[in-house]
Amino acid sequence: MRLIETMRPALDELSERLADVTSMKDSIGGTIRILTPERAARTILWPAINEIVSEYPGINVELIVSGRLIDIVSERFDAGVRIGEELAMDMVAVPIGPDLRMAAVASPDYLRRHPAPVIPTDLASHLSIGYRRSETGAVYSWEFAKDGERFKARPRGQLVFNDASLLLEAALSGHGIAFVLESSAARYLADGSLIRVLEEWCEPFPGFHLYYPSRRQNSAAFKLLIDRLRYREAS
């Protein structure tokens, strides 16, 4: 009994602190609208948002998945997500993921029928699977770089898709070389169903960033989201 009485002040203080934390969480609220590509939505944004809306019942998030490059201000979005190379200069940009890297991949069957390219200019004699960007409508030109030397290759083959997963399916089926995010092809490279070519010509580039207008007055909810999403390299 004495022990309980001795500990009561500390228990009362702890109870007050917990009540303060609960009150603070209840007071943070509002709606956040974000425009984002699908890959960033699934792999980066959703895990953080899942935690936030569970912890803070007053926060609402509207996540619009689209590859379109639009004006987030005129469309009334609070923020957007793009890779670092596509960011506008007048925006605040917060890194939310690591650097990315592309990978040129083909099936073992295709490479048995066609000698693997050694330099990017060798792609002229290969079938390549094109990707039509939904935001611009243009077929993406493959970009390579090594030791300061840069090279662009326009895909030439029978197939063009606007869906990255179909690029991999076509490559797995032996229809040519696909140019995809390294992380997308990782499991196929690991099990040998795809083989990487021109690896030394694929340099890393800035990954996904959350961006928003510099003149924006950020709410407590938005600041919380930024803190949760901010990419911090493992030490």
Encoded amino acid at 134, one letter: S
Rounded CA gap, 109 and 94, in Å?
Answer: 42
Q: What is the pLDDT of residues 39-75, one digit of tens each?
A: 999 999 999 999 999 999 999 999 999 878 788 888 9
CB 34 within 8 A of CB 80: yes
Non-local CB neighbours of 33 within 8 Å, separated by 6+ positions: 61, 62, 64, 76, 77, 78, 79
- Give the closest residue to 154 by CA, choosing from 182, 185, 124: 124
pLDDT tens digit sequence for 67-122: 787 888 889 999 999 988 777 778 899 999 999 999 999 999 999 999 999 999 99
DSSP secondary structure string for all residues of 65-100: E------TTTTT-SEEEEEGGG--TTEEEEE-S--B
Q: What angle do CA 119, 84, 164 make, to 5 degrees?
A: 60
31, two tokens: 């709606």
- The string over 7-32, giving b where at least 16 C-beta atoms fall within 10 Å of a residue's C-beta and e elsewhere, is eeeeeeeeeeeeeeeeeeeeebeeeb
Q: Name the residue among 133, 131, 127 with its Cα closest to residue 156.
A: 127
Using 50, 70 and 90 to split pLDDT, how confident is the model at 139?
Answer: very high
Contacts 24+ apart (CB under 8 A), 87-90: 87/209, 87/211, 88/211, 90/213, 90/214
Alpha-carbon distance of 2 to 4, in angstroms, equals 5
What whole-number percentage of the chain has pLDDT above 70? 88
pLDDT confidence of residue 69: 79
pTM score of the predicted model: 0.79
Whether residue 67 contacts residue 192, with contact meaning beta carbons closer than 8 Å, is answered with no
Q: What tokens does 40 get?
A: 């960033």
Residue 158: Cβ within 10 Å count: 11
Question: pLDDT for 141-189, tens place per residue?
Answer: 999 999 999 999 999 999 999 988 999 999 999 999 999 999 999 999 9
**For tokens 């040998």, what's the residue?**
192
**CA 12-17-20 angle, 5° bins:** 125
Kindly give, in sequence order, each residue whose CB lies less than 8 Å from that of residue 58, ignoring residues fewer than 6 positions away: 25, 26, 27, 28, 29, 30, 221
